Structure 1
Amino acid sequence: MWQLLAAIESHPDFSDKVLSGIHANVWTSMNSYTHAGMLQVTRRLKAGTIEPSYESKEVVEVLRAAGFFALVSMNQIAQMAGAHEVVAKVRDLLDGVTQDLSD
């Protein structure tokens, strides 16, 4: 995975290394939620029953990550469209979100 990220981030449009930041900060937990990993399984068990059992902090973490992915997608679409004002606004938003994800 790191080799693929290095190849992508060698391109000027990805030189900010956002993708490797995602990989370093949320990749493992997102895979565990997505691919029936330990996080997903343990968050479905509750004192003798099988039902959602997520802490508020965990829900916020997943929502922040989802918002981040949406902004990354929006940034790339705006770049391809040449919408420089949108790119600047999205990058400002991304700066705040990436700071939140690394905290």
Structure 2
Amino acid sequence: MNAVRLPVAEAAKQTSSQSASQSALSECVSRTVRRYLADIGDAECSEGLHAMVLREVEGPLLREVMAFHEGNQSRAAAALGINRATLRKKLAIYGLL
């Protein structure tokens, strides 16, 4: 697990420099989806774009939140806003248990 914590001052600096209309995470997703769509052109994603994006994002999200909370599932579940049992099920799906 390799989450990286930014020093508080650095995190605040990055937050203040972001566009007021779009968060850094939202901008990153937008940029990545635009690039993906440009790469595939008119071809369709076999599993559907929505399912693919959720699958690609959920695993790293869970891994980083677990690392941030040093493996504490109760705190990670609270941070994610999901039940601990749901978190355990998702961790198992992504091989993170």
Please confirm whether the aligned pair reaches a TM-score higher than 0.5, indicating the same fold.
no
Q: Which has the higher helix share?
A: 1
Higher relative contact order (CA 8 A, sep 6+): 2
What range describes the TM-score normalised by the shorter chain of this pair? 0.3 to 0.5
So what's the TM-score if we normalise by structure 2? 0.37
| TM-score of the superposed pair, with normalisation by structure 1 | 0.35
